[in-house]
Every structure is written in structure tokens, then in C-alpha cells.
């Protein structure tokens, strides 16, 4: 072990939890709190609260009353961990071991304070629920041992798969089980447990790539992928469907080619790969073209009004001067522009919506910190995790997704934390079996 390894050895997740300052009993409590957080995210989506209570409706009001329950539970869990480990030690560990996560949290808090000073308290609940919740949840997840993190990821993937299955049943039965007020679509679209079809498809698409990176059997992964893909069809999300298919093909080609060039691919896998690919494409074609699940995607496989709205979102910059583009505008002015100029009906691009909120200057800082945040989590977890991050960002770009109150970023980040690290291997010049080794420094410090 080198001196550098020894300096940061405490960052290795294989070390005992007690040595890291959080005992087994405290981990059990934290695990229970994290499960509660995920249940609040997944079972109490904002559309459900809005439908029955008006809780998450846009507009004025006290932001403390608009912040979601899961954010308050995260604050409670964070206070518990800080009290168990000691505030100074917990903060120092986060700064040293996971600087990308801490940096993103600091950037979000800074953007929130600057936005309040510029435009008032409007949007504070969004900043907390959608953006700040993600780094807080990741800090807490990293305080758990590796086995518990993996259980959280498994729980998320299983729930999303179950949610996709509900969507398939809804589409086949043409009945919304929960969100009965969302029957305004031209073609029936499932809403399942998360509400809006695009939100369902967004979360489902992200979970598919994470399932591929889990240490599960090929049959289990195939079942999960099949249900999730059928769910995306049931939700009628064209962009999510296309992005997921394209990136899945690119990921399969990249991972397969790399394994083949490195000599890691078994002969049986090489022989079976063309047959598996043909079977998968045939099954996908049957689901899309031969069942009612793909009805909306097939009939709207063109550049229609919905696609035009996403292009028109950029036109809002035509009505802003450079000062407003760089420093942002408040919600009242944005709504006024949309109501006044009919060529911009809605902002169906999350990045444009965030630019309008915090301004172009802060957006550059925000975007870089977001990339650093995701990279710090995904580093060392293999090519599939990298494709999962890319898929998340691309699918998010096709709607207003993370520019609204949603836990999707936090859910994806927590699930990404539980993806196993990739164990590298190298061959020696002498004859014999290849030696396997694990990078000594993990959690984003060294990989």
C-alpha cells in the first residue's frame, strides 16, 4: 500500500462501519429513515398531493408548507447522522471523500439564496425538493455500508418495475387506477403510481440502465428490462422510448466490443450474442407494432405539435434582453411572457426553465456542478453506470422534468450509489490464471 493509499484508506467502503464513525445500530436507524424517504418519494408524488389536497400547486404561499415530506425526513436523517458521528467529523468526511457531492449541495444553496435576493421566495420549495434533496440523500446513502446501499438500489429498481407493470395493466384495461383526472390525452396513456406519463417514463428509463449494472442473473435482468420497456410504451413517451433504445444499442455494442478486444468474452457468449440481439429486437418490434402498448408512439411517429412545442421553447429568449437572460426572471414575468406571446405555449425543456429561474451565469456553475455530482457518484462503477447518467441527462432534456417539483434526480442518484464498483483485472506475462485486483481507493476518491 502506498502512502497515498494509506492516507485515504478510511474511505474504503469495505472498512468497518464503526471505524467510519457510524455503528451498526445507527446504520439500521438510518436505513429505516432512507426507506421512509424513498416511500414518500415514490408513493406520495406531487400530482397525487395536488389532486387531493392542492399541496403542491404553483403560486405564492409559505414555502415551508410547500416543501415535500421527504425533504423534511432527509433533514431529520441528516441531523441524526451528524449527531451520531459528530458534526465536524461528518462534514470533514463529506468534503474530503465526496467533494463533488458537497460542491453540488453548496451550489444549490447559493443559487437558492441569490434567487431569493433577486426575485423573492418563489421557487424555494422547488430548489429544496428537486435539487437539494439529491446531494443530501447521497450523503446519507454513502453513510451506509455497501450491502445496505445495494439494497436501496434494489428496492428502487423493483418498485419502478412494479410501477411499470401497473402502467401496462392500465394501458391494456384503458383505466387509470389512481389519477383519474389525467384523461385529457388524445391517446390513452398510463399514469401508474407516479402521475404524469413523462415522469413515469423518465424514472423507468433511468432504472433500466441501473438494473443492467446490478449483480443479478441474466434472466432476472431480462425480465426487468422487458417490463420496463413495456411500461415506457404504456406511458406513451416517444422521446424516452427512442433515447432508451438508441443508448441501449450503443451501450451493448460498446460493452461487447470492449469485452471482445480485452479477451474477456466467453466463446458461448460470443456465439449467443447475435441470437439474443435478434430475439430482443423482434420482441421489441412485436410490443411496439403488434400490441396496443405502442399505439401512441407508432401513430405519432412524426414531428407533430408536441415536438414543435419543444422547439418553440427556445423562442422565449427572443423576448428577453441580455440582462434578464444572464440574471433570470421571476415566475410572474415568465408566465406573462407565455400568456402574451402565443408562439411559446409552455417551456418543455428543463434546462431553459432553470436558466430563466437562476440566470445564465449561475446556470453554467449549476450545470458543471451537476455533472461533477453525477461523475463523483458514478466514477468507478463501470460503463453501464456512465450510460445510465448519459441517458438520465438526455431524457431529462426532452421535457420539463427536473425543472418541476420531482424527486427523480434524488431517486436516480441514490440508486446510482448502490451500483457495485467494477473490479479490474490485469494479466501477468507468466503463464497462469489472470490476477484480479480491486482499486484500493473508492467512493470517487480513486478508481
Tell me, what's the pLDDT at 369?
95
DSSP classification of residue 436:
E
Is residue 171 within 8 Å of 293, Cβ to Cβ? yes
* Model confidence pLDDT, tens digit, residues 63-75: 777 889 999 999 9
What is the mean pLDDT of the segment spanning 22-46? 91
Q: Which residues contact 406 (CB under 8 A, 6 or more apart)?
A: 45, 46, 129, 130, 199
What is the mean pLDDT of the segment spanning 426-434? 45
**First CA to last CA across the chain, in angstroms?**
15
What is the mean pLDDT of the segment spanning 55-84? 81
* Model confidence pLDDT, tens digit, residues 280-299: 777 766 666 666 676 666 66
The DSSP secondary structure of 118-184, one letter per residue, reads: HH-STTHHHIIIIIIHHHHHHHHHHTS-HHHHHHHHHHHHHHHHHHHHHHHHHHHHT--SS-TT---
pLDDT above 80 for 314: yes
pLDDT above 60 for 405: yes
Report the C-alpha gap between 408 and 295 in whole angstroms.
26
**Torsion angle of alpha carbons 183, 70, 152, 280, nearest 10°?**
20
In DSSP terms, 2 is beta-bridged to none
* Model confidence pLDDT, tens digit, residues 215-244: 888 889 889 988 998 888 888 878 888 888
Determine what percent of the chain is predicted with pLDDT higher than 90.
Answer: 27
Higher pLDDT, 293 or 430: 293
Extents of the domains making up the chain: 3-301+349-423
Report the C-alpha gap between 224 and 383 in whole angstroms.
19
pLDDT above 80 for 144: yes
* Lowest-pLDDT range of 329-338, 354-363, 367-376: 329-338
Report the C-alpha gap between 24 and 431 in whole angstroms.
44
pTM score = 0.84
Amino acid at each position: 500500500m502506498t502512502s497515498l493509499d494509506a492516507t485515504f484508506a478510511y474511505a474504503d467502503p469495505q472498512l468497518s462501519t464503526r471505524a467510519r464513525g457510524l455503528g451498526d445500530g445507527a446504520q439500521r436507524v438510518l436505513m429505516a429513515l432512507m426507506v421512509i424517504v424513498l416511500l414518500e418519494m415514490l408513493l406520495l408524488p406531487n400530482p397525487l398531493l395536488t389532486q387531493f389536497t392542492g399541496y403542491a400547486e404553483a403560486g405564492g404561499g409559505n414555502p415551508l408548507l410547500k416543501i415535500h415530506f421527504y425533504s423534511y425526513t432527509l433533514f431529520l436523517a441528516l441531523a441524526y447522522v451528524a449527531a451520531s458521528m459528530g458534526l465536524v467529523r461528518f462534514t470533514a468526511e463529506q468534503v474530503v471523500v465526496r467533494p463533488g457531492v458537497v460542491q453540488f449541495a453548496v451550489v444549490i444553496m447559493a443559487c437558492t439564496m441569490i434567487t431569493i435576493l433577486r426575485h423573492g421566495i418563489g421557487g424555494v420549495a422547488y430548489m429544496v425538493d428537486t435539487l437539494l434533496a439529491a446531494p443530501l440523500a447521497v450523503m446519507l446513502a454513502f453513510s451506509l455500508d455497501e450491502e445496505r446501499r445495494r439494497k436501496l438500489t434494489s428496492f428502487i429498481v423493483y418498485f419502478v418495475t412494479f410501477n411499470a407493470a401497473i402502467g401496462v395493466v392500465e394501458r391494456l384495461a384503458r383505466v387509470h387506477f389512481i389519477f383519474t383526472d389525467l384523461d385529457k390525452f388524445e391517446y390513452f396513456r398510463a399514469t401508474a403510481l407516479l402521475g404524469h406519463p413523462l415522469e413515469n417514463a423518465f424514472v423507468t428509463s433511468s432504472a433500466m440502465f441501473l438494473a443492467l449494472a446490478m449483480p443479478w442473473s441474466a434472466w432476472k435482468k431480462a425480465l426487468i428490462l422487458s417490463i420496463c420497456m413495456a411500461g415506457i410504451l404504456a406511458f406513451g413517451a416517444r422521446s424516452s422510448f427512442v433515447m432508451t433504445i438508441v443508448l441501449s444499442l450503443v451501450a451493448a455494442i460498446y460493452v461487447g466490443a470492449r469485452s471482445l478486444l480485452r479477451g474477456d468474452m466467453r466463446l458461448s457468449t460470443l456465439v449467443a450474442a447475435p441470437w439474443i440481439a435478434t430475439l430482443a429486437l423482434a420482441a421489441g418490434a412485436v410490443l411496439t407494432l403488434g400490441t396496443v402498448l405502442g399505439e401512441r408512439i407508432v401513430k405519432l411517429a412524426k414531428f407533430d405539435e408536441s415536438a414543435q412545442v419543444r422547439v418553440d421553447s427556445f423562442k422565449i429568449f427572443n423576448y428577453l434582453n441580455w440582462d434578464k437572460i444572464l440574471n433570470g426572471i421571476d415566475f410572474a414575468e415568465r408566465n406573462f411572457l407565455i400568456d402574451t406571446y402565443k408562439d411559446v405555449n409552455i417551456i418543455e425543456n428543463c434546462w431553459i426553465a432553470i436558466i430563466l429561474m437562476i440566470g445564465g451565469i449561475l446556470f453554467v456553475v449549476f450545470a458543471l456542478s451537476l455533472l461533477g455530482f453525477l461523475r463523483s457518484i458514478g466514477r468507478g462503477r463501470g460503463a453501464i453506470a456512465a450510460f445510465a447518467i448519459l441517458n438520465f441527462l438526455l431524457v431529462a432534456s426532452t421535457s420539463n422534468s427536473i425543472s418541476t417539483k420531482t424527486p427523480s434526480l434524488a431517486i436516480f442518484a441514490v440508486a446510482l450509489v448502490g451500483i457495485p464498483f467494477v473490479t479490474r483485472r490485469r494479466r501477468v506475462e507468466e503463464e497462469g490464471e489472470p490476477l484480479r485486483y480491486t482499486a484500493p481507493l473508492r467512493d470517487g476518491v480513486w478508481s
